[in-house]
Amino acid sequence: MITSNKSLAAKLALTLMAGASLLAFAWPLVIVNPSQDAVAQTLLMALMPALVIFGLVELSAGALDSKKLATLAVLTAVNSLVRLLGAGMAGIETVFFLIIIAGYVFRSAFGYLIGSLSLLVSALIGAGVGPWLPFQMMAAGLVGLGAGLLPRTRNKWSQIAILVVFAIVGAYFYGALMTLWNWPFLAGDHSSLSYVAGAGILENLQTFLKFELFTGGLLWDTGRAATTCVLLALTAPALLPTLRRAANRAGFEKKL
């Protein structure tokens, strides 16, 4: 019964983190005319303790222990350095392939943590800190979480195909979220693509979709998707069995 309660608490914590993250991106649809810095600072101050609490819940539930934390730390450090290899130009980003593979192997909670922490650590060591950081962390965490929910198969090539398809979806999902939070500031005022403070949710959502389609956001996301797919195709055949062995040694209960 105790184990069941702990598992339920871990699942509830993950669900709350995912839900809060998604709601944070929707602020342009519900908040009237805040400043960019105010939104970012508020979210950053809320996100840091939320991540700590989330990690503590996972620890108390047994979803994380010393071995699993060590695995998370190593993969986060590696991915943070790998991110610095990506120029970021035309959507060329190198950070997502390892988030997706790790989330797939180690499941959703681990995927959220490596996604968010990779963006945080890489920002601190050179990728750049700004009002975008808390949103990058949450969006990358959601990508890692989604990878943990993907269907399992024992066929190596089926696994890679699933990851590649998810990488395409994840790249556009990440891009849409990152555009949505910053849209009121990017679009400016008094145009057909501008955010209208106080307008209805559906009206602003329709305008946002036009902004995403007509301002090149999808082209940038295509670059991210292509980069991630190529890196997955090159690395997944070796990384999947390697990380699976690491997962077994670290004591992750649900093995592929």
How far lies 96's CA from each of 27, 92, 101, 157, 174, in Å? 25, 11, 9, 19, 10
- To the nearest whole percent, how much of the chain has pLDDT over 90? 36
Overall fold of domain 2-250: Arp2/3 complex 21 kDa subunit ARPC3 (1.10.1760)
Q: How far apart are CA 198 and CA 30, in angstroms?
A: 8
- The predicted model gives 179-207 an average pLDDT of 77
Q: How far apart are CA 202 and CA 190, in angstroms?
A: 18
Domain ranges of the chain: 2-250
Tell me the residue type at 250: A
Question: What integer pLDDT is reported at residue 145 of this predicted model?
Answer: 96
**How does pLDDT run across 63-103, given as a tens digit for each residue?**
666 788 888 999 999 999 999 887 556 567 899 999 999 99
Largest CA distance in the chain: 59
Question: How many alpha carbons lie under 13 Å from residue 135 in its C-beta half-sphere?
Answer: 24
Nearest CA to 133 among 16, 23, 24, 15?
24
**pTM of the predicted model, to two decimals?**
0.86
Question: Is residue 23's pLDDT more than 80?
Answer: yes
Which is more confident, 128 or 148?
148
Question: What integer pLDDT is reported at residue 92 of this predicted model?
Answer: 79
Lowest mean pLDDT among 113-117, 119-123, 205-209: 205-209
Question: What integer pLDDT is reported at residue 221 of this predicted model?
Answer: 87
**How does pLDDT run across 33-71, given as a tens digit for each residue?**
566 556 666 776 777 777 777 777 777 666 666 788 888
How many CB atoms neighbour CB 84 within 10 A?
14
Question: What integer pLDDT is reported at residue 96 of this predicted model?
Answer: 95
Tell me the residue type at 185: F
Q: How far apart are CA 9 and CA 238, in angstroms?
A: 34
